[in-house]
Homo-oligomer: A and B are copies of this chain.
């Protein structure tokens, strides 16, 4: 009776339980992440995720409010990992920095694509997207200002830059195209003239 009011079982068991729960939650996210990457968000069903995690489909709803929240958790973990690596790395040039960031996104572009596809349906994903979109824009702006650009010019180019990055992520293109565009973006350098 009384213990029914406790939010958790007693201390000893509580710790163990919490760890198990956390591990299981992460397992769900891991499997979901892989499946989203392999088949896309729409073509990954809750049943597929639950099968991969060896649980009943509805058990996912104990850990997450819904499918979008699973995606959100995968995204958060992805970004946290990237941020960590970004901060410990140092880059030889602005182009190298930009290329690294782009390549990280590109390696997980199916996840990012899922975000864009669900923007209108999920306010949570909309908020997530807008937040990191703005963060990327700010990062590009500061980079350009540091390189001596006027702030309002830098802001414009940063917006353009995020659009270009998203464009590259979601459109097929050659390696040469990518290289030229990133180079242009990093330095606004003129494309190389043949001959």
Contact = CB atoms under 8 A, between A and B. Distances in A.
Interface of A: 40, 42-43, 113, 116-117, 119-121, 130, 133, 150, 152-153, 156, 159-160, 162-164, 166-168, 170-173, 177, 180-181, 184, 190-191, 193-194
A48 to B, nearest CB: 16
A160 B133 contact: no
Q: Which label, helix, strand, loop or mixed, suits the secondary structure of the A interface? A: helix
A121 B194 contact: no
A8 to B, nearest CB: 39
Q: How many copies does the complex hold?
A: 2
Contacts of A172: 130
A181 B80 CA distance: 31
A149 to B, nearest CB: 11
A170 B116 contact: yes
A173 to B, nearest CB: 8
Across the A-B interface, give the 5 residue pairs with the lowest CB-CB distance, nearest first: A163-B167, A117-B117, A163-B164, A156-B191, A153-B191
A159 B160 CA distance: 12
A171 B163 contact: yes
19 contacts: A40-B120, A113-B120, A119-B170, A130-B172, A152-B191, A152-B194, A153-B190, A156-B180, A159-B167, A159-B173, A159-B181, A160-B160, A160-B184, A162-B167, A163-B163, A163-B171, A166-B166, A166-B167, A167-B167
